[in-house]
Structure 1
C-alpha cells in the first residue's frame, strides 16, 4: 500500500537530481521544489511515485530518462531508474535491488 504524498527526503532528492543531470531532459531550477513523492509497495527497496504539485494522479508512463547501477552496503547490486510521463514530468523513481531485499542506502554520487 502506498503512503500519503510527502516531500522527498534529502537523500531521495539528491538521487533524483543526479539522475536528472545524467539525462537529456531539462527541468526548471525550482522543479524539485514542486514535487511530492509517495513510497511504493516494493519490499522497502526505495521506489517512489513522483507527483508534480497540482498534477492529477492519473498521468501515464512515458519513458526512462536515466539510470545508475551500484552495490548496496551488503554488496547486492541495485539498479535505480528515473522515468517521466507522456507530458515530460517526473513519474517514478524505480529502485530494484537484485535480491529484492530492502535498500540500505543510496550511493553518494556527489
Structure 2
C-alpha cells in the first residue's frame, strides 16, 4: 500500500456531500484522517486507511462531472464488508490526470 498522508479538506468535503446524498453521515461512515493514493497521485483515487481492499462490498454512491479539459470523470465512494469506507475512486474516461478536483456543486449523481 502507498504511504499514508493527511486527507485534504477538498476530499473530505466531497465525501461528506456524497454521504449526504444517500442520507448517511460521518457517524455511520467515519472519514479517516489518513489516506493513501492509488497509482498516479494526480488521478484523485484514495483509500481510507483501509488495508483490506479484498473486503470490497460495493459502491455507496456514484457521481460524475466534466473536468476542465471536457473529459467525463466518475467518482465512486465504496465500502467494505465491515461497513467502513474503503475508497473514493476516480475514473476519467481518457485516463489522464485530473485538471481540477471537483466540488460538490459541480457533480451530478447517478441513479441506482
TM-score if structure 1 supplies the norm length? Answer: 0.81
Alignment partners' CA distance in 1, 2:59 and 2:29? 21
Alignment partners' CA distance in 1, 2:80 and 2:14? 18
Alignment partners' CA distance in 2, 1:35 and 1:101? 27
Is the Cα contact below 8 Å between 1:24 and 1:65 reproduced in 2?
no
Instruction: Tell me by how many angstroms 1:58 deviates.
Output: 2.8
Most deviating of 19-28 and 74-83: 19-28
Indicate yes or no: 2:82 matched with 1:87. yes
- Matches for 1:20-99 after TM superposition, within 5 Å: 20-28=19-27, 31-32=30-31, 34-42=32-40, 44-51=42-49, 57-58=51-52, 60-99=55-94
Runs ≥4 residues deviating over 3 A: 24-27
Is the Cα contact below 8 Å between 1:43 and 1:100 reproduced in 2?
no
Instruction: Tell me by how many angstroms 1:26 deviates.
Output: 4.3
TM-score if structure 2 supplies the norm length? Answer: 0.79
Q: Secondary structure at the match of 1:31?
A: coil
Unaligned runs of 5+ in 1: none
Is the Cα contact below 8 Å between 1:25 and 1:65 reproduced in 2?
no
Unaligned runs of 5+ in 2: 106-112
